[in-house]
Amino acid sequence: MPYIVIKDFKDLEDKNHIYRAGDKYPRSGRGKKERLEELLSSDNLRGEPLIEEVGD
């Protein structure tokens, strides 16, 4: 499933890459399940969802 960034954030697990709202997540390849779940929920340092699933 593709994901899109809904809030700007600095990804500490991706060489401090800055994702901007509207960017594709991850930049390349497939994201790790645990990391996707963390960014989809409020269970991250920001305490709010930062990405969302988008349709095919």
The DSSP call for residue 53 is: E
Which pLDDT score, from 0 to 100, does residue 19 have? 97
* Cα(39)–Cα(34) distance, integer angstroms: 9
Strands (E), the chain: 3-5, 9-11, 17-19, 24-25, 51-53
Which pLDDT score, from 0 to 100, does residue 29 have? 87
User: Would you say the pTM of this structure is higher than 0.75?
Assistant: yes
* Cα(35)–Cα(46) distance, integer angstroms: 14
Segments in the chain below pLDDT 70: 56
Q: Tell me which residue range forms the domain holding 32.
A: 3-53
Q: What is the count of structural domains for the chain?
A: 1
**Residues counted in the chain:** 56
